[in-house]
Chains A and B, each alone.
Chain A
């Protein structure tokens, strides 16, 4: 009679390396800050640049988050995403300009009221445009990447030109509301109030989005859809409806990003969205298509690098970001936070 084979299962913990691997990319942000500090040397300039880099990163994240989810869910690459940024900025800034009485008053409450009105208007406008865009432009070309790229690019040109028709060909200059003008001195470095507000606001949106994705049922469906859409459909969830909602929400967020970017630059043009798309694509690629966390980290890296290099040698700012993209893709070809997809 033979005995059963020896069988000693052990309950071991995954090694430290395995457990921390997914979080390594987050460490790149402080690492980049440290490198920036060494390269720039003057602590006060470094502080100013870091705050503005973070602010820029947050805004880019807000614009890029919708794009990455749309890709993750439905495999749709939207080259026209920049149009929503421009439209949001134009609607939002028009509202702000028409509320001159509120923005001119030195009261923080009234200022914030005006900004909120602008944000709500911009998000509704960009969201509605997103809905129409999905219906008219994207829907007929599901599943054909080549046509998607061409058609969404064409859609963006049309929207940009329509902005020029409606708002005129000139760029619009704006003043920030009274309470957000100027800077304060922190540890010897001038920090603009608006940039700080943008950082806080962007963080708020990131954590809100993360909460929705991690702790609500809708978030669960979205994350499952990104990982394996077929399975989600097979379980009976209306993935198409979820996708349209995400598309609209992403467009609205792009519009919000547009308003924030307009207030940050204090000037808006019809081409701003198209120009920003370059940075947005870099962010989406290095973050890993479909990953919100990756997008967030990528946006911060891009924002910081753009500001540090822009300070050291303005000509190389954009080139340095392409260098960053190359390095990150050599390290992780699917992006920093790859999303597992069953395809």
Chain B
């Protein structure tokens, strides 16, 4: 049964299974285990980033192509929901229409970029996605009439999903059963569904071909697979996944802006999560995103401590300045690509190389 749900892709390691179960249970009961707005926020962010990172892993880990446009698709999904809610008014129909429209636009964009750059020369893909994503981010922040520019858009989600709506008069286990809780479970089950879909995709014959292309492009083509179509297909599926994750994120935040969805920093975060968790394993996305989001929330506190502790020394407090935390992430990133290319999951599974 479980094997069927996971599409036959079992964790294949006792510790890994344990960690995954802990993360799953932790997220499933997050509102009860970690009460408080901030921790619920962190839990929702973890759910959404797990889905986002898994969709990116399909591209980077399974197909072996680097895209820098993943935040663009994430942003397209988020802006889809926001624009639909602003123009159609508050309601579930707006959320659904926005999500579908965002996913459709993302799919079309991905198809165009994929067919175009992968056909010309696969190596261009990384550069072209970087250029296109930058141009789109600039465009979104400048078309203030439509997208709200740098300020972004605030919008309302249906009352049934906000804390104003009470479902039970009494709290259960000290937690109020309200729309906010419902909204959290929308994030949770939405992300869970995406993860299961991605597990299905990578373990399907289609997914096997993607891995064959990653391992040896020339041979895969010689066997008779049209690699352009498979690569483009992977990039479309991955883009749609990112767009849906973006829609969820927008619904959770009730806000979209260039900084929260389109910025290059988020792209770097995604890259780090994939690499830390382990490229080419959907479970890596789960672990990478969880570690990273928690670290992101609490690492900066640690750096403040370190900066204070070293304040009498030259240069060190500058390096430990919480604003410089990207420096540490960058170093961590380079080191993990060198020494840890299979990430946490690869290590736990005891794979070599």
Contact = CB atoms under 8 A, between A and B. Distances in A.
B333 A329 contact: no
B127 A284 contact: yes
Contacts of B5: none
B186 interface: no
- Interface size class, chain A: 35 or more
A162 B337 contact: no
A326 B60 CA distance: 24
Contacts of A334: 120-121
Chain B contact residues, majority secondary structure: helix
B128 interface: yes
Nearest to B279: A146
Interface stretch (B7-15, B40-48, B130-138, B243-251): B130-138
A333 B116 CA distance: 10
Given A149-B66, A318-B135, A161 B327 contact: yes
B330 A285 contact: no
Interface residues on B, range: 35 or more
Interface stretch (B82-90, B165-173, B199-207, B316-324): B316-324
B334 to A, nearest CB: 4
A157 interface: yes
A314 B143 CA distance: 11
Contact of B337 (A77, A150, A318, A325): A150
A322 interface: yes
A343 B143 CA distance: 45
B345 interface: no
A165 B327 contact: yes
Contacts of A110: none
Given A151-B337, A281-B131, A329 B326 contact: no
Contact of B338 (A140, A278, A314): A140
Interface string A150-161: 110111011011
B132 A322 contact: yes
B121 A333 contact: yes
A284 B121 CA distance: 13
Contact of A285 (B124, B275, B337): B124
Interface in B238-296: 264, 268, 271, 275
Interface of A: 77, 79, 137, 140-141, 145-147, 149-151, 153-155, 157-158, 160-162, 164-165, 169, 274-275, 277-278, 281-282, 284-285, 289, 314-315, 318-319, 321-322, 325-326, 329, 333-334
